Amino acid sequence: MPTLIHYPLCPFSRAIRLAAAECELKLSLEEKKPWAWAADFLEINPAGTLPLYRDEDGGMLCGSYPISEYLAETGVDETGDARAFSFFPGDEAERGEVRRLVDWFHRKFDSEVTAYLIGEKVIRRFDSAMGGAPNMEMVRAGQANLRYHLGYIGHLTEERTWLGGEHLSFADLAAAAHLSCIDYLGDVPWGEAEEAKQWYARIKSRPSFRSLLADRVPGLKPPDSYADPDF
């Protein structure tokens, strides 16, 4: 069985966990704290980022981008033995749109929301080198940016079944992975974002989401709504 080296509140790791579950690809999970950069870890991935994917022969892929494209490439068999889940479904234009949105969430949402909130409320809390109390200015910046992104998700779902188009794609999983980390902190103002909430409820109720909802980080309890399908 391949192994995913991950951190429970790492959105990039969560996106791969969701995708693997949608593909019915079983992964053994190995936890790694992203702030505890050991020399052996940096030797494998000098960027120090998660997740890492180790296949059964010991081959290693580093980071969300190589792993997702690898799983996408190997997931669809040309003889027609395609997996039920396609990372980038549709024609050229649709695949391009899905990748645009993956980049939106993994780069733009990450730097405007996740990095602030997970950085301040999780990494800073546990990384003794950073000091414990969150910088509330950063937290408020992340929360303000989040409202804009929830609006964008709502806008996309007004005309589409899923974020990238008619089919569930890696764009939905990347977006849900980031939001689920923020939701663990209780920081998503769902009451102000009805369309985004409806889309998230559909993702949250999928079997692929179960393992994320069972995650617990010691010392950091999620709100009850985190694992509740009727949040």
Residues found near its own copies in the complex (CB under 8 A): 45-47, 59, 61-63, 65-67, 69-70, 73-74, 92-93, 95-97, 99-100, 102-104, 107-108, 152
Nearer to its own copies, 14 or 204 (CB): 14
Nearer to its own copies, 108 or 167 (CB): 108
Q: Least CB distance from residue 229 to its own copies, whole Å?
A: 30
Q: Helices 194-204 and 170-184 meet at what angle, rounded to 10?
A: 100
Nearer to its own copies, 61 or 150 (CB): 61
| Residues facing 165 on adjacent strands | 162
Q: Least CB distance from residue 99 to its own copies, whole Å?
A: 4
Nearer to its own copies, 61 or 181 (CB): 61
Q: Which of 72, 76, 123 is nearest to 102 (CA)?
A: 72
Residues 6+ apart with CB under 8 A from 143: 117, 187, 189
Q: Least CB distance from residue 111 to its own copies, whole Å?
A: 8
Nearer to its own copies, 48 or 131 (CB): 48
- Give me the torsion for CA of 199, 31, 47, 176, rounded to 10°: 0
| Residues facing 81 on adjacent strands | none
Burial 165-201 (b: 16+ CB within 10 A, else e): bebbbbbbbbbbbbbbbbbbbebbeeeebeebbebbe
Q: Least CB distance from residue 98 to its own copies, whole Å?
A: 8
Q: Least CB distance from residue 146 to its own copies, whole Å?
A: 16
